[in-house]
Amino acid sequence: MSERSGRDPGFLTVSNLLSLTRIPLGISLLAIDDRGLLLAIITLGAATDFADGVIARWSGTESEIGSLLDPFCDKLFVLLGLISFLPGAYLDWAGFLVLILRDLFTAGSWLLARIVGRRLPFRSRPGGKITTGLQVGTFFALVVEPRLVPLFVLAVGAASVYAIVDYGMYGVRHGLDGSA
């Protein structure tokens, strides 16, 4: 529900449509080899990730579906984008797994909690934002300066560990009692 109006803004909001654009953008990364076009798509994906939340808050159209849709679309965009660089000279399977570690953990934890009848809060956390930013930075490195990819993989790995601990502690404090 929108915090401002107390009503559900529905599914077809500008912010949700922006989130959804990351799905075809991610799919397009699988088929494109042009460096300039790759950079444009990565930039557009990052811009929609930033803009969807800002627009939802500004317009008062924040919703539960939006709070689930945004990170789902983020994770799918990142997954598809990283798959597009596999197998490659600059990204191996080990690096790929490090880059999606946080995404696998958070999605798995949320799904497991739902299966056992718990409702974990699905809130954006600073560690998750940092990890996502570094994942996007990895995309830019893969296209522009591949020698930096190992540094980004290391940074994403460290940020992922921080995010996993942070999400875990937040979940324990706010969701394991089933009241969230």
- DSSP state letter for 152: H
Residue 1 pLDDT grade (very low, low, confident, very high; cuts 50, 70, 90): very low
Q: Residue 89: is its pLDDT beyond 80?
A: yes
Between 1 and 20, the more confident residue is 20
- Say how many CA atoms lie within 13 Å of 23 toward its Cβ: 10
**How big is the chain, counted in residues?**
180
Residue 168 pLDDT grade (very low, low, confident, very high; cuts 50, 70, 90): confident
Between 110 and 36, the more confident residue is 36
Task: Give pLDDT tens digits for 105-144.
Answer: 877 877 777 787 776 666 677 888 899 899 999 999 999 9
User: What are the domain boundaries of the chain?
Assistant: 1-69, 85-180
Highest mean pLDDT among 4-8, 11-15, 48-52: 48-52
Q: Is the CA virtual torsion 49, 52, 58, 63 positive or negative?
A: negative
- At 123 the pLDDT is 67
3-17 as b/e: b if 16+ CB within 10 A: eeeeeebeeebebbe
- Rg, the chain, Cα only: 17
What mean pLDDT do residues 43-60 have?
A: 89
Question: Percent of the chain, pLDDT > 70?
Answer: 87
- At 153 the pLDDT is 97
Task: Give pLDDT tens digits for 68-81.
Answer: 888 889 889 999 99
- At 179 the pLDDT is 46
Mean pLDDT of the chain: 84
